[in-house]
């Protein structure tokens, strides 16, 4: 691995305002081959994972970014004392619809939610979580909405394919299933009915 190239890439990613894509890094480093850049990036990911430090290099929002390890979140919030972004139920529902069904119009969002979403969409646009993709080629030419790069960064997603599936979301709400297991008999001559050990019934 080219140590100088790795150091250069580290400095570029470290000073970037947002996730830096592989294409952008290659555009900035024309004196290096694309293969060298990709190899250096892979090496940096492995290095930061292996060292077990306070931050890691991850691929998010179509680019590369240094992020603190999730395990240290509670310690970091003690220091920076910032509140986590809070979303209303209506904002979360609208954002979820846009994320999973994009591209779509305001009327399509409102049809799925069953209520007016103009104010919520405006808020999501102001927070840069949703963006306007263009206009739909139908009468009235309504605006088409989709999620933004900032949406991927806020939720720590590499791309839209990283969104959890409906099956994964449903699994979060399922109650754990307890299996019956036979009790070990401490006294060989004394047989105790298994049912007496089941407080769940």
CA-nearest of 163, 10, 183, 3 to 97 is 163
Q: According to the model, what pLDDT value does residue 87 have? A: 77
Q: Are residues 22 and 73 in the same domain?
A: yes
Whether residue 107 sits in one domain with residue 75: no
| Same domain, residue pair 12 and 74 | yes
pLDDT given for residue 8 in this prediction: 92
Residue 181, domain member (yes or no):
no
For residue 124, being part of any structural domain is answered with yes
pLDDT tens digit sequence for 56-115: 898 888 889 888 888 887 787 777 765 556 778 888 889 988 988 889 999 998 888 888
- pLDDT tens digits, residue range 33-42? 999 999 999 9
Asked if pLDDT for residue 17 goes beyond 70, the answer is: yes
**Predicted confidence band of residue 7 (pLDDT cuts 50, 70, 90):** very high
Residues 101 and 51 in one domain: no
Arithmetic mean of pLDDT over the chain: 80
Average pLDDT over residues 24-39: 91
pLDDT at 199 over 70: no
Taking residues 149-170, report their average pLDDT.
Answer: 80
Residue range of the domain that includes 40: 3-79
| Domain presence at residue 160 | no
Same domain, 34 and 72: yes
Average pLDDT over residues 159-175: 73
User: How far apart (Å, rounded) are the C-alpha atoms in residues 107 and 36?
Assistant: 48
DSSP state of 19: P
Same domain, 75 and 101: no
Number of separate domains in the chain: 2
pLDDT at position 164:
81
Residue 200 binned pLDDT confidence (cut-offs 50, 70, 90): very low
- d(C-alpha 8, C-alpha 15), whole Å: 11
Q: Give percent of the chain with pLDDT exceeding 70.
A: 81
- Reported as a pLDDT band with limits 50, 70 and 90, residue 16 is confident
DSSP letter, residue 158:
S
Burial 142-155 (b: 16+ CB within 10 A, else e): eebbbbbbbbbbbb
Whole-angstrom distance, CA of residue 27 vs CA of residue 183: 66
| Contacts within 8 Å (CB) and 24+ apart, 121-128 | 121/94, 121/145, 123/91, 124/91, 124/94, 124/95, 124/98
Q: What is the DSSP string of 100-151?
A: HH-SEEHHHHHHHHSS--HHHHHHHHHTTSEEEEEE-SSTT--EEEEE-HHH
CATH number at residue 57: 1.10.10.10
Domain end residue (candidates: 24, 58, 79)? 79
**Residues 63 and 93 reside in one and the same domain:** no
Q: Compute how many other C-beta atoms are within 10 angstroms of the C-beta atom of residue 23.
A: 12
* Residue 96 belongs to a domain: yes
Q: How long a stretch of residues is the chain?
A: 201
pLDDT at 194: 47
Q: Does residue 84 have a cis bond before it (omega within 30 degrees)?
A: no
């Amino acid at each position: 691995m080219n140590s100088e190239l790795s150091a250069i890439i580290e400095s570029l990613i470290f000073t970037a305002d947002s996730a830096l894509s592989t294409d952008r890094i290659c555009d900035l480093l024309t004196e290096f081959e694309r293969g060298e850049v990709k190899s250096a990036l892979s090496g940096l990911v492995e290095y930061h994972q292996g060292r077990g430090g306070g931050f890691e290099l991850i691929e998010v929002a179509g680019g590369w970014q240094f992020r603190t390890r999730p395990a240290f979140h509670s310690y970091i919030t003690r220091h920076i004392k910032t509140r986590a972004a809070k979303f209303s139920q209506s904002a979360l529902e609208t954002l979820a619809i846009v994320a999973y069904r994009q591209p779509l119009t305001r009327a399509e969002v409102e049809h799925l939610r069953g209520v007016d979403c103009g104010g919520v969409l405006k808020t999501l646009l102001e927070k840069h979580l949703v963006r306007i993709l263009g206009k739909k080629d139908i009468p009235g030419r309504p605006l088409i909405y989709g999620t933004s790069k900032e949406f991927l960064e806020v939720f720590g997603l590499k791309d839209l394919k990283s969104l959890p599936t409906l099956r994964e979301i449903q699994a979060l709400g399922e109650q754990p299933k307890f299996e019956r297991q036979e009790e070990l008999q401490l006294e060989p001559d004394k047989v105790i009915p298994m049912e007496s050990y089941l407080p769940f019934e």
